[in-house]
A and B are shown apart, each in its own frame.
Chain A
Amino acid sequence: MRHPLRLRLLLRDLAAGSAFGAMAVSGQLPLWALGVFFTALVLALFNVRLVARHSRLSALGLLVAAVLLGLQLTSGAMNAVVAACSFAGLIAAQRMLSTPDAAAEGQTHLTGLLMVAGGAALSGDMTYALCLIAFGVLASLALALGVVEAAVPDGEPVPVRAVMRPLSAGLAFAVTGAVAFFVLFPRLNWAMVGPRSAPGLGAVSSAGYSNTVRLGGAGTIKGNPRVVLRALLTPDPGTDALDAYWVGRTYDTFDGLEWSNVVGAQQTERQITLRPASDTLLHQRIELLPAYGARTLIALETPSRLGNAMAHTPTGTRTSPVQLQGGGEVRFTVTAPSYTYEAYSLPPDARAGLSSALLEAEKDQLLALPTRLDPRLAQLAARVLQGEKEPLAAARRLASFLQRDYAYTLDQEGTSADPLSDFLFVRKAGHCEHFATALTLMLRTQGIGARLATGFFGGTRVDGGYLVRAGDAHAWTHVLVPGRGFVTVDATPPSHRSSQGPVLLEKLLAIYEAVEARWRNSVVDYSFRDQFELASALVRPPRPPPGARESAAPSRLPPPRAWATAAVIAFLVWRVGRLASRWTGRAPVLEATRFLDRVDAALQKAHVPRFEHETLEDLTTRLAREGHPLALALTPLTRRYLEARFGGRALREGEAEHLLATLRRALDAEAERRAAKPASQTSPTARAS
């Protein structure tokens, strides 16, 4: 059997790597699967076929892994999609490391396809698309090379360049065409980068804003660094870390497991006023990004007015009425991947005369307790408060107690009948929803009105605005203070309020977000109107500043930047033309030329002295004139090459190998002869001219 082509194996393994990357970008694969696959990939790239001789043993290992994954699946510790994806990755790793025969080829590509499909189920953002493109290109190249390699008879060289050149050109054309389509018809392609509903939430979930607050569940909440919200604040606070509460909705009723509201939808308007306005309102222009995935409007605490919402749907941008729901939640009535809207909020220290506006039913709900509440809760609250009755002071005392004595964790404890007492008296560790729920209910047991608020905490400054990540999702407590309204008290330890990503990941993500933002703004969101505006901005003379005098004779010529743009475009066209002409002007690579390349390589390896630009023909002539012993071997070879290249008599099958073998023998003999000779009698050496 012939030796498989190294380039093809490289392409195949890289294709499998891209396919795996399509799944890995979702961040949901278990760490060990990542480790196993990437170790296998690196080994395969270095041509270490680790399990080539132990295929049965490794197959057994796969079986064990399948059983383990199945166990995790049935125990609810793993989502079915994630388990399937992990297994596909393991199969691909095993196939990559085994003997590269035809069966392994096919199976590797097949698992590649499976992994891409799995990636589509898990993620589906821009990085996934890039991985998908990479997989398509690499796998196509590898497959085509494999077909050609199988068709070439044994002993003949595989025409790698002749295959790769047109194929790469074709693939480049296809990818460019796809990108061009994307750019030309941005709206049609909205859905491709549009919203991805959260993947089938099994036990593994990622942090983000959700429509319910439910304690309990098993597994781990993963920090999710995707950006969900971008806001421009007026007046600009100017700080790097905003550390503010962005509220989405509040809850007043807890049934022991889940929070809800007693009041349903109330009104649908273009604009909704929640609180009386003050003369120092904080204006926010907010964009909700597809990673947000919900319809609730978010605003800085405490929102006063929300409205002017635009929904960016696949078919275009349109205004969306907003609807007031219970718990102060305002929702878009139109479903869209992303929205922009405006919000006015009261400054942090403003007093909102809200309590008077509350309905009686709502007021009652602020003290409502679940029917089956653990009595220890009230005892614990009373013990901590030690008679403190002032609502705000009591809340703060309880919050600092919780922050001090309870640990923060994203590991979920599993399903429990009473997750709250589980948190308070058994595990003594939980996440923000546990802390906020505990504080709210402990206050209520002491006759102090309180409710749960959900939204985000944080805000990182980028480009003069602020952005909020999915991992910043948070829950906290609103304490009803007579005469002041609701006051925010947060029981979660301060260092765990916003997302806790690794610094490097955050930095990488910042770069990614910047690229994606540019991509969205200049490609996906790029409409014909934008194109027209750009073109007119390039040609239109700049507007004189309002105060400036009109110049005596306004020029009718286009402004300098129009000329500059035209020059740049002309230069680019010229360069591309040059490049294209060089590409098309190249002589086709022929069998004889490849033979010549191999002869040249053999001569170079044997250190046969050679002038610069000396062709094989010249070299042979020179050696023959000098009476060099190599001339004897080179003359028939050179003649055959010349015949094949310029004489129209192609090399016969296996002839190149035969000629090369003769040459190698002659070179070896020459090397021996030289080694035997004393050093003083060296053969003529080359001048570097």
Chain B
Amino acid sequence: MTQPARVLGPVPSPASARAVMERLAAQLGRAVQGKPEEVRRVVTCVVAGGHLLLEDMPGVGKTTLAEALARACALSFSRIQFTADLLPADILGAQVFHAQTATFSFRPGPLFRQLVLADELNRAPPRTQSALLEGMAQGQVSLDGQTHALPSPFTVVATQNPVDFSGTYPLPDSQLDRFLVRLSLGHPAPDVEAHLLTTRGAASPLPSVEAVTGPEELASLREFAQDVRLDAAVADYVVRLARATREHGDLERGASTRAVLALGSAARAQALWEGRDFVTPGDVRAMLVPCWAHRVLLRSAVQGVSARDEAAHLVEEIARKVAAPR
């Protein structure tokens, strides 16, 4: 795979950052058609340096999206299909005994890639799921007392089927909290589906996706996004939103401090879409539901898709109630 030309330059500007993001979105749009908003969210999440959780019905293009992302960013990629009998060692790797030298050496698992697709994450038992935790949080894996660094940038794109499907384990809250953004693609619009039928048929759209950026550029883009200004008034707004979720009567648990930080970095990346180097309350609101809807715990007993919708609805309601800074 050839290295794409760098657009960002040695001194990135909001405009050049936006150009990179637009190009990424254009490539992803080739793989997932008719979902421009969702595609932009995915790019936002990647630029913010977060992990992505795609929650959807099977067959709407979750896997395609993840693979397209790896291709467009020229990242090393692996796909782990989570099943009920998958073990942590299958992901992380294991110590292998070499008979000739009578020593053990570490054989890295499929997690040691820049972009890891954890497909159908909730089909694995909790023990295996939590094997991902350290890698997602610290970018390293500890095994038998040894620490192994994961490649950089390291991004997990997990997909999961709605929880009410049979044979699934709901993700633990600690795991959910480590995903920066949760998205669902949903079925494409009828005209898009018809278009797919006539033009593509069964052929994969992936070969048409070109690499438009590389790991280095992605890393500097992330750095630049971290430096986007977040005014004290906006920070206060985020904190007030978090407090509102914590005090809300229908929520068992509101946004955590990690959720507050996550919203901050997501809003910073979102600001780049407008070519801005500062965050506005609008950026915060744009990322609020993708960032927080999966992190709050409902008091009511609803599960699955309806719980997801209700959480999103409650977070939206809170966003309406908490006054934005003027």
| Complex-state Cα separation, A267 to B215, whole angstroms | 114
Q: Which of B278, B320, B324, B326 contacts A648 (CB 8 A)?
A: B278
Task: Please give me the residue from chain A that is nearest to B323 by CB atom.
Answer: A613
Render A593-628 as a binary contact track against B, CB cut-off 8 A, 1 for contact.
100110000000000000001010110010000000
| Contact status of A646 and B233, CB under 8 A, knowing A615-B282, A617-B281, A621-B282 | yes
B309-326 CB contact bits vs A (8 Å, 1 = yes)? 000000000001001111
Point out the residue from A615, A617, A621, A645 that lies within 8 Å of B231, measured CB to CB: A645
Q: How far is the CA of A642 from the CA of B324 in the complex (A)?
A: 12
Residue of A nearest to B274 (CB): A639
In angstroms, Cα B234 to Cα A646, docked, is: 7
A621–B286 Cα distance when bound, in Å, is: 12
A587 located at the interface, meaning its Cβ lies under 8 Å from any Cβ of chain B in the complex:
yes
Q: Please, which residues of chain B bring their CB within 8 A of the CB of A643?
A: 276, 278
Task: Assess whether B280 is interfacial by the CB under 8 Å rule.
Answer: yes
Q: Which residues of chain A are within 8 angstroms of B107 by Cβ–Cβ distance?
A: none
Output the nearest chain A residue to B231 by Cβ-Cβ distance.
A646
Residue contact A648 to B229, C-beta cutoff 8 Å: yes
| Candidate in A587, A643, A645 with the most chain B CB atoms within 10 angstroms | A645
Closest partner residue, chain B, to A612 (CB atom) = B320
Report the Cα distance A646→B283, complex, angstroms.
12
Q: Which residues of B contact A546 (CB under 8 A)?
A: none
Q: Which residue of B lies closest to A592 (CB)?
A: B326
Task: Render B277-312 as a binary contact track against A, CB cut-off 8 A, 1 for contact.
Answer: 111111001000000000000000000000000000
A642 touches B233 (CB 8 A): no
Q: Shortest Cβ distance from B155 into chain A, in angstroms? A: 28
In the complex with contacts A618-B282, A647-B231, A648-B229, A642-B276 CB distance below 8 A:
yes
Residues of B within 8 A of A618 (CB): 282, 285
The docked-state distance in angstroms from the alpha carbon of A126 to that of B325 is: 46
Interface residue ranges of B222-276 to A (CB < 8 Å):
229, 231, 233-234, 236, 276
- Among residues of A, the one whose C-beta sits closest to the C-beta of B326 is A593
Closest CB in chain A relative to B226 CB, distance in Å: 17
Find out whether the CB atom of B326 lies under 8 angstroms from the CB atom of A596.
yes
Interface contact A615-B276, CB-CB below 8 Å:
no
The residues of B that contact A615 with a CB separation of less than 8 Å are 281-282, 324, 326
Q: In the assembled complex, which residues on chain B have CB atoms less than 8 Å from the CB atom of A647?
A: 229, 231, 276-278
User: Chain A contacts of B320 at CB under 8 A?
Assistant: 613
Number of A residues near B (Cβ < 8 Å) is 15
Whole-angstrom CA separation of A254 from B290 in the bound complex? 104
Question: Count of B residues near A, CB < 8 Å?
Answer: 18
Q: Known contacts A642-B276, A646-B234, A647-B276: does B282 contact A617 (CB below 8 Å)?
A: yes
Q: Which residues of A contact B234 (CB under 8 A)?
A: 646
Q: How far is the CA of A597 from the CA of B320 in the complex (A)?
A: 20
Chain B residues, CB < 8 A from A621:
282
- Give bound CA distance, A25 to B281, whole Å: 56
Q: Is the CB of B278 within 8 A of A646?
A: yes
A117 to B211, CA, bound (A): 86
Q: Point out the residues of chain B lying under 8 angstroms from A613, CB to CB.
A: 320, 323
By a CB distance below 8 angstroms, the chain B residues around A642 are: 276, 278, 280
Neighbouring B residues of A593 by C-beta, 8 Å: 326
Q: Specify which chain B residues have a CB less than 8 angstroms from the CB of A648 in the assembled complex.
A: 229, 231, 278
The closest CB in chain A to the CB of B282 belongs to A617
B residues 32-51 touching A (CB-CB < 8 Å): none
Bound Cα distance A542, B324 (Å): 56
Complex alpha-carbon distance, A587 and B326, angstroms:
9
B229 / chain A contacts, CB cutoff of 8 Å: 646-648
* Distance from A619 Cβ to chain B, minimum over Cβ atoms (Å): 10
Contacts of B280 in A (CB 8 A): 617, 642, 646
Residue of A nearest to B322 (CB): A613
How distant is A651 from chain B, measured CB to nearest CB, in Å? 15
Chain B residues contacting A587 (CB-CB under 8 Å) are 233, 236, 325
Q: What is the 8 Å Cβ interface bit string for chain B, positions 8-29, against chain A (1 contact, 0 not)?
A: 0000000000000000000000
- Closest residue on chain A to residue B324 by CB atoms: A615
Bound-complex Cα distance A593 to B231 (A) = 14
Nearest residue in A to B320 (C-beta to C-beta)? A613
B277 CB contacts on chain A under 8 angstroms: 647
Q: Complex formed: what's the CA distance from A596 to B323 in Å? A: 15
Encode A177-195 as 1/0 by CB contact (under 8 A) with B: 0000000000000000000
- For the complex formed, measure the closest distance between the CB of B14 and the CB atoms of chain A, giving whole angstroms: 10
**Alpha-carbon distance A587/B231, docked complex (angstroms):** 13
Are A645 and B276 interface neighbours, CB within 8 A? no
Look across to chain B and name the residue whose beta carbon is closest to the beta carbon of A647.
Answer: B278
* Chain B min CB distance to A596 (Å): 6
A643 to B229, CA, bound (A): 11
Given the complex, which residues of A lie within 8 Å of B279, measured CB to CB? 646
A79 CA to B93 CA in the complex, in Å? Answer: 108
Tell me the bound Cα distance from A618 to B283 in angstroms: 10
Highest count of chain B CB atoms <10 Å: which of A596, A621, A646: A646
Highest count of chain A CB atoms <10 Å: which of B234, B280, B320, B326: B326
| In the complex, residue of chain B having the shortest beta-carbon distance to the beta carbon of A648 | B229
Q: A621: nearest residue on chain B (CB-CB)? A: B282
- The distance from the CB of A687 to the nearest CB of chain B, in whole angstroms, is 13
Kindly provide the distance from the CB of B19 to the nearest chain A CB, expressed in whole angstroms.
18
A634, chain B: closest CB distance, angstroms: 14
User: Could you tell me the distance between the alpha carbons of A615 and B283 in the complex, rounded to whole angstroms?
Assistant: 12
CB closest residue in chain B, given A689 = B320
Kindly state the separation between the CA atoms of A596 and B276 in the bound complex, as whole angstroms: 19
For the complex formed, measure the closest distance between the CB of B38 and the CB atoms of chain A, giving whole angstroms: 17
Most chain A beta carbons < 10 A, residue from B234, B279, B280: B280
Cα(A162)–Cα(B324), bound, Å = 21
Q: How far is B233's CA from A642's CA once the two chains are assembled, in angstroms?
A: 12
Chain A residues lying within 8 Å of B325, measured Cβ to Cβ, are 587, 645-646
Q: Provide the residues of chain B in CB contact with A645, threshold 8 Å.
A: 231, 233, 325-326
Provide the bound-state CA to CA distance between A615 and B324, in Å.
8
Contact partners of B323 in chain A: CB under 8 A: 613
Chain B residues contacting A597 (CB-CB under 8 Å) are: 326
**Distance A646 CA – B232 CA, assembled complex (angstroms):** 8
Question: A613 vs B322: C-alpha distance in the bound complex, in angstroms?
Answer: 10
Q: How far is the CB of B282 from chain A (nearest CB, A)?
A: 4
Q: Which of A613, A642, A643 has the most CB of B within 10 A?
A: A642
* B326 proximity list for chain A (CB < 8 A): 593, 596-597, 615, 645
Cα distance, A273 to B320, chains bound together (Å): 84
B232 to chain A, nearest CB (A): 9
B233–chain A nearest beta-carbon distance, Å: 7
Q: How far is the CB of B251 from chain A (nearest CB, A)?
A: 21
Q: Who on chain B is nearest to A594 by CB?
A: B326
Closest Cβ of chain B to A620, distance in Å, is: 9
- Nearest-neighbour CB distance to chain B for A157, whole angstroms, equals 16
Measured CA separation A618–B284 after assembly (Å): 12
A642–B229 alpha-carbon span in the complex (Å): 12
* Nearest residue, chain B, Cβ from A596: B326
Nearest Cβ distance between residue A322 and chain B, in whole angstroms?
71
Closest to B286 in A: A621
Most chain B beta carbons < 10 A, residue from A617, A618, A643: A617
Write the nearest CB–CB distance from B63 to chain A, whole angstroms: 31
Q: How far is the CA of A647 from the CA of B282 in the complex (A)?
A: 13
For the complex, give the distance between the alpha carbons of A643 and B279 in Å: 9
Q: How far is the CA of A596 from the CA of B282 in the complex (A)?
A: 15
Q: How far is the CB of B307 from chain A (nearest CB, A)?
A: 25
Chain B contacts with A in 208-224, Cβ cutoff 8 A: none
Tell me, rounded to whole Å, the shortest Cβ–Cβ distance linking B21 to chain A: 18
Q: Give bound CA distance, A593 to B281, whole Å.
A: 14
Q: Which 4 pairs of residues, A with B, have the shortest CB-CB distance?
A: A647-B278, A617-B282, A646-B231, A642-B280
User: Which B residues are closer than 8 A to A by beta carbons?
Assistant: 229, 231, 233-234, 236, 276-282, 285, 320, 323-326
Listed A/B pairs (5) with beta-carbon separation below 8 Å: A615-B324, A617-B281, A643-B278, A646-B325, A648-B229
Given contacts A621-B282, A642-B278, 11 further A-B contacts (CB under 8 A): A587-B325, A593-B326, A596-B326, A613-B320, A613-B323, A615-B282, A617-B282, A618-B285, A643-B276, A646-B229, A646-B231
A residues near B (Cβ < 8 Å) are 587, 593, 596-597, 613, 615, 617-618, 621, 642-643, 645-648
